[in-house]
Amino acid sequence: MLLAPKLSCPTVPLSNGLQIPIFGLGTSHDGGYSHDTIVYALTECGVRHIDTAKRYGCEENLGNAIRESGIPRRDLWVTNKLWPGDYGYKAAKKACLDSCSQMGVTYFDLYLMHWPESTQPGCSNREMRAETWRALEELHKERLCSAIGVSNFLVRHLEELKEDCSVVPHVNQVFTNDMTHQVEYHPFQQPNQLVEYCRQEGIVFEGYSPLAKGQVLNNPTILRIAQKYRRTSAQICIRWSIQNGVVTIPKSIKKERIQENCQVFGFHLEESDMATLASLDDGRHVTWDPTNVE
């Protein structure tokens, strides 16, 4: 296999002054982890942004891969996510510390609430979100989490959090992963109202797995644009997301796919092609979404 050129990745500023790499590598619990591929991404491709979650069950393995890579911890951006089963003030703080221990790190660069709905009895979703967010605020204050955020929150969830708590989320991550019931962001589903709200509030918008479960790869319009730039459909969609200012976290367990996905900074989509891709929004959902979560 030809080695990929080392990635030179731009960053996006967070409201607290930190800089998050605009491109990263995602993992998942459904066959979404490969030790050799993670090491390859870090050592041969220059990836410095890794996204995981307790839900994925690969924290210990991922920590081992990071250590094997030899990349200093200070040079990495590591995102982890808190599962709803650990919501609540005490439970959330314990879960974060446990995840740090599992990965063999002393802090996370970004720690997210994974989903707006609580599985804990006795409280409304809003009450539990607020209680849990206050735990994340404490973790941030204690520097166990350099930045804190949410995942799959809609405008109304974010508005309530602003009213109930003191720190506005630094990031709102949205997914296209069919196993975790996510808000989607890809050419076929563009939640522009949510994107614009986040930007107005200083919340960085982050998208995970931007390929619509592979549905974008054989779309005739995307294939035509890919041919124009002599790139793959995946590269076109990742580039489209990045040019929209969205922190983009595709995932793969294949080294050749990681290599391909990393090669998105050597070209620029013309405005007409950006507009064409934007016009593909047909309201299609390839996953569940949190629309009905109160």
**Residue 139 one-letter amino acid:** L
Whole-number Å distance between alpha carbons of 209 and 206: 10
CB-facing half-sphere around the CA of 256: CA atoms within 13 A: 3
Sign of CA dihedral 32, 35, 38, 40: negative
Per the structure block, which two tokens stand in for 43?
């050592």
Has 89 been annotated as catalytic? no
Per the structure block, which two tokens stand in for 117?
């709905």
Task: Name which of 79, 21, 83, 34 is nearest 52 in CA terms.
Answer: 79
Tell me which of 56, 87, 111, 208 is the catalytic residue.
56
**Residue 64 one-letter amino acid:** N
CB-facing half-sphere around the CA of 214: CA atoms within 13 A: 2
SS3 31: coil
Which residues are marked as active site? 56
